[in-house]
Chains A and B, each alone.
Chain A
């Protein structure tokens, strides 16, 4: 388990009689960029919400950065960064005021230098006193990344990070994700619909269908296992439609 950033053990979540996630068991190695794929309602966001301790599992458990989501939720929260889908901020506050709040909640005592560093990494120099309400969608998404990495987490969760971005925004975000992984060694777990982005970004993938994991492997092995298929999209639809064993 020591080499694993994320390990889930029959992780399940139900809402009444509706099963949102059914006995999910998956492993994500440290340093990977893991892409969780699936249709809408497949259970991707539920998985991220469970792994970030925003939800409590109905059954099962998971370890994130060595901390149990059921037994040591605070330890998990100290170790992760999280970018929700359609991230929102306090629009009447400036970029620095927003980031200072989240940095201090994460336990940073004097966060201003770290904020300056992160803003530089994400190419936000000169925007620090600008109110968030004036930012474009692409800029807000990068601010979302900024708030998630302020405290240098070991695992970063991104829920549909490219949702609503224009092609330029998608490219910038992709470069940022790859850089965070390669330069800072962060393990990245992301939900996404954009299979082309998965091909360019992820090192391993999982596919969820109706709350059940139907496939998990490295991207390279997945592509190699389907020599007749010329794209991840074709493989995805094939795996997604196979009966669950």
Chain B
């Protein structure tokens, strides 16, 4: 078995055994499932009130949920992927590369016929499988709950959209896992290895969008991306910083995939930007010199 496959399997095994990873995975899966449940409860409550109002003869208007896309109920998952999923991916990424440096097992690994690029790509592949499994489980449960709300299994088209949303989520989370791997390799202390990617994540998730969408700052925590103001300073800044805001690109792509009526247009450019970030981060991490992988921590 080659270094790539051995490292990938080892990464999966380590994640399966790590308590922090367990906790984060449970929280993430729980929140994504909760987003569908919240949608379900909202539907039940509003429909209940609506039926009572109709029975009392107070309205003839249609039920507000009539005609709503079944995927509406998955909309809240966008923000959970963005917030909890990204943090989970960062922690998994940091653990992956910091583990060997922290436990000094790196010398046992690097004294074997192991190429640094194959080793790092293997670790990344292992993390990618873990993240895919997490997304797969949470979105499968979401699919079931939405089908229950809908009264019938989701059709092929809608199922395809849920799968596409899962793929876009995987690209985002893997990019953040790579950010964690990078700081796990480069930082001199464990605390900075965790702190630096969180600061970068905060900037990407909160500061960059704020610069371009200051006209509607409260939109930052909404699943729906905010439209930038038209004309003037904010428009110019938004044009420059927009592509850099990974999270805004994710929100935009996800909203279009999930047929959110508030967002129009094509998701292609946003998905390409997400893929470009993934590719660049992969190259940066894999190019890490061998001696850097075995550098000690100053603690």
A: which residues have CB within 8 A of B? 52-56, 74, 77-78, 80, 82, 84, 86-93, 97, 101-102, 104-107, 109, 147
| Set of chain B residues within 8 Å of A77, measured between Cβ atoms | 111-114
Which B residues from 1 to 49 make CB contacts under 8 A with A? 1, 3, 6-7, 10, 13-14, 17-18
B: which residues have CB within 8 A of A? 1, 3, 6-7, 10, 13-14, 17-18, 99, 103-105, 107-114, 291, 294
Query: What residue of chain B has the Cβ atom nearest to residue A52's Cβ?
Result: B111
- How far apart are the CA atoms of A92 and B14 in the complex, in Å? 8
Nearest first, the 10 closest Cβ-Cβ pairs linking A and B are: A82-B111, A104-B6, A77-B113, A92-B17, A105-B112, A88-B104, A88-B103, A52-B111, A84-B107, A78-B113
| Set of chain A residues within 8 Å of B3, measured between Cβ atoms | 105
| Set of chain B residues within 8 Å of A106, measured between Cβ atoms | 112-113
The answer to whether A54 touches B113 (Cβ under 8 A) is: no
The answer to whether B294 touches A54 (Cβ under 8 A) is: yes
| Set of chain A residues within 8 Å of B10, measured between Cβ atoms | 101
- How far apart are the CA atoms of A42 and B62 in the complex, in Å? 86
A84: contacting residue among B7, B108, B113, B114, CB under 8 A: B108
- How far apart are the CA atoms of A102 and B107 in the complex, in Å? 11
- How far apart are the CA atoms of A152 and B113 in the complex, in Å? 14
Additional A-B contact list (17), CB under 8 Å, known A54-B294, A92-B14:
A54-B110, A56-B291, A74-B113, A82-B107, A86-B104, A87-B108, A88-B104, A89-B103, A89-B108, A93-B17, A97-B13, A101-B10, A102-B108, A102-B109, A104-B1, A105-B7, A107-B113
| Set of chain A residues within 8 Å of B294, measured between Cβ atoms | 54
Query: What residue of chain A has the Cβ atom nearest to residue B7's Cβ?
Result: A105
Q: What are 7 of the A-B contact pairs (CB < 8 Å)?
A: A53-B111, A54-B107, A55-B291, A84-B107, A86-B104, A90-B103, A97-B13
Say how far A58's CB is from chain B's closest CB, in angstroms.
13
- How far apart are the CA atoms of A82 and B105 in the complex, in Å? 12
| Set of chain A residues within 8 Å of B7, measured between Cβ atoms | 105
The answer to whether B17 touches A101 (Cβ under 8 A) is: no
Say how far A55's CB is from chain B's closest CB, in angstroms.
8
The answer to whether B113 touches A82 (Cβ under 8 A) is: no
| Set of chain B residues within 8 Å of A147, measured between Cβ atoms | 108
- How far apart are the CA atoms of A54 and B112 in the complex, in Å? 10
Is chain A's interface secondary structure helix, strand, loop, or mixed overall? Answer: loop
User: In the complex, which of the residues A77, A90, A105 has the most CB atoms of chain B within 10 Å of its own CB atom?
Assistant: A105
B14: contacting residue among A52, A86, A90, A105, CB under 8 A: A90
Say how far B55's CB is from chain A's closest CB, in angstroms.
59
- How far apart are the CA atoms of A147 and B295 in the complex, in Å? 22
The answer to whether A88 touches B14 (Cβ under 8 A) is: no
| Set of chain B residues within 8 Å of A109, measured between Cβ atoms | 1
- How far apart are the CA atoms of A93 and B15 in the complex, in Å? 11
Say how far B52's CB is from chain A's closest CB, in angstroms.
55
| Set of chain B residues within 8 Å of A105, measured between Cβ atoms | 3, 6-7, 109, 112-114
Say how far B43's CB is from chain A's closest CB, in angstroms.
43
Say how far A121's CB is from chain B's closest CB, in angstroms.
19
- How far apart are the CA atoms of A89 and B104 in the complex, in Å? 8
| Set of chain A residues within 8 Å of B110, measured between Cβ atoms | 54
- How far apart are the CA atoms of A147 and B111 in the complex, in Å? 11
Query: What residue of chain B has the Cβ atom nearest to residue A144's Cβ?
Result: B108
- How far apart are the CA atoms of A125 and B112 in the complex, in Å? 26
- How far apart are the CA atoms of A147 and B105 in the complex, in Å? 12
Query: What residue of chain A has the Cβ atom nearest to residue B18's Cβ?
Result: A92
- How far apart are the CA atoms of A102 and B108 in the complex, in Å? 8
The answer to whether A93 touches B14 (Cβ under 8 A) is: yes
| Set of chain A residues within 8 Å of B99, measured between Cβ atoms | 90
| Set of chain A residues within 8 Å of B107, measured between Cβ atoms | 54, 82, 84
- How far apart are the CA atoms of A87 and B111 in the complex, in Å? 13
- How far apart are the CA atoms of A78 and B105 in the complex, in Å? 18
Query: What residue of chain B has the Cβ atom nearest to residue A110's Cβ?
Result: B1
Query: What residue of chain A has the Cβ atom nearest to residue B294's Cβ?
Result: A54
The answer to whether A93 touches B6 (Cβ under 8 A) is: no
Query: What residue of chain A has the Cβ atom nearest to residue B114's Cβ?
Result: A105
| Set of chain B residues within 8 Å of A90, measured between Cβ atoms | 14, 99, 103, 105
Contacts A92-B17, A93-B17, A109-B1: A84 and B109 contacting too (C-beta < 8 A)? no
User: In the complex, which of the residues A74, A90, A91, A97 has the most CB atoms of chain B within 10 Å of its own CB atom?
Assistant: A90
User: In the complex, which of the residues B13, B99, B103, B111 has the most CB atoms of chain A within 10 Å of its own CB atom?
Assistant: B111
Say how far A162's CB is from chain B's closest CB, in angstroms.
18
- How far apart are the CA atoms of A92 and B109 in the complex, in Å? 17
| Set of chain B residues within 8 Å of A91, measured between Cβ atoms | 103
